[in-house]
A and B are shown apart, each in its own frame.
Chain A
């Protein structure tokens, strides 16, 4: 998709609304569903990767410093990572407050 969906006119839609570009769901910002976002306390993190494994949206990625960090473009704020974290390194914080 070359431009956001909200800018498409009806004339530009492929016949039957077929999606011609494979994998373009990755362009869908599910991140704006959330009210809480995960914040990692790096002091407590043991790099076990349970957050990465349990994340239902595969929002977690390993960064260059070997920390698993949630990509907030996708993270829906479900809190499963915080629940599963064995050391309590992840806390869920109101997005609004954080700003």
Chain B
């Protein structure tokens, strides 16, 4: 096992971006993303990283610079949070439509209003349909690891898609965690230089970002949809190759004590670790509870999810964002995944931990208790915001 070092997660993320040998970094500071770009700007200023660092005037420009740079064949990086992501949202759809690989780390933070700097997934959900491959990671090591996975995957000629790593703001971004860093030589082998299929170059002029008439627009969307759907085998292949290199294997849907469980908690992001503590406690009490963690949000791993959950009697889905007027976005996806099955578990949906409100192991236990009682009483598809006073 490689030596472990203690490091703030944001700093480790920036170190990974350096090790991935990016050409262009463009970002605008916003809490809680700031430490990542701050550290990258230092690395560039110190000459430790040979890259162009663009100080832009907004997030809209930050991502636009990445799009332009990626169009010339550069390996690019940006990161943001919350309102910054909202301001970028227009360009997120353009990056994926143009099939430009790049990496964005989102240090997830609540969207206003009310103004809040703390963590939940409302920012990520606001661009859910932007066409990027989207991961939710659980801890710092996963952020570090997925930087390399993201570039190798996105730049694969059979994929050519931008990638988002969602990591919980503050809960991960500002916490010091142990890291197993990877030697540069191994990374250079794992991550070959980016070879674009088409790029902006005066020797061979092309047009990128042209308009499309109604007579061909649907075909362009179909092509994009097929690209992200068919990226699944490449995602698995990339994780496998990464696992073979480091011993850390990742999967679209991961389980913890779930195989024989009647009740399954379903989580995404860093709260999965807390939920696993709750599962341990409930198992000690002799209860049949397990945990299913969704790591890959887009493309949504419908088959893997069904395989992990169809045996259960009920799912307790924890959402960290509200789709106001509907239900939690994860629960909506989960229900869609299960709808076609004759025998399917009930889905009880809690919105919990919005705007950084702590969700402790005992909260998870209370949610499981409540869901089991409600389902027993016939409320099989309940939805509520957990812990609201009054």
Q: Does B226 contact A (CB under 8 A)?
A: yes
* B46 is an interface residue with CB less than 8 A from chain A: no
A-contacting residues, B166-185, CB 8 Å: none
Known: A10-B226, A22-B205. Is A16-B219 also a contact (CB below 8 A)? no
Contact residues on A (Cβ < 8 Å of other chain), bracket: 10 to 19
Q: Is B198 an interface residue (CB 8 A)?
A: yes
A8 near B216 (CB under 8 angstroms)? yes
- Among B98, B99, B198, B207, the one with the most A-chain Cβ atoms within 10 Å of its Cβ is B207
Task: Assess whether A17 is interfacial by the CB under 8 Å rule.
Answer: yes
Within the assembled complex, what's the spacing in Å between the Cα atoms of A18 and B99? Answer: 10
* Interface assignment of B245: CB less than 8 Å from any CB of chain A: no
* Contact of A20 with B220 in the complex, beta carbons under 8 Å: no
A17 pairs with B212, CB closer than 8 A: yes
The one of B198, B208, B216 in contact with A6, judged by C-beta atoms closer than 8 angstroms, is B216
Nearest CB in chain A to that of B200: its residue: A18
Contacting residues, chain A, for B207 (C-beta < 8 A): 18-19, 22
Question: What 1/0 flags go to B179-211 for Cβ under 8 Å of A?
Answer: 000000000000000000110000001111010
Distance in angstroms between the alpha carbons of A21 and B285 in the assembled complex:
68
- Residues on B with C-beta less than 8 A from A15 are 99, 160, 197-198
Q: Give CA–CA (A5, B216) in the complex, Å.
A: 6
Q: Which residues of A contact B105 (CB under 8 A)?
A: none
- Whether A18 contacts B215 by the Cβ 8 Å rule is no
- With a 10 A CB-CB cut-off, give which of A13, A17, A19 has the most chain B CB atoms: A17
Residues of A within 8 A of B197 (CB): 15
7 contacts between A and B (CB under 8 A): A5-B215, A10-B219, A10-B222, A16-B97, A16-B100, A17-B223, A22-B206
Q: Which residues of A contact B (CB under 8 A)?
A: 5-6, 8-11, 13-20, 22
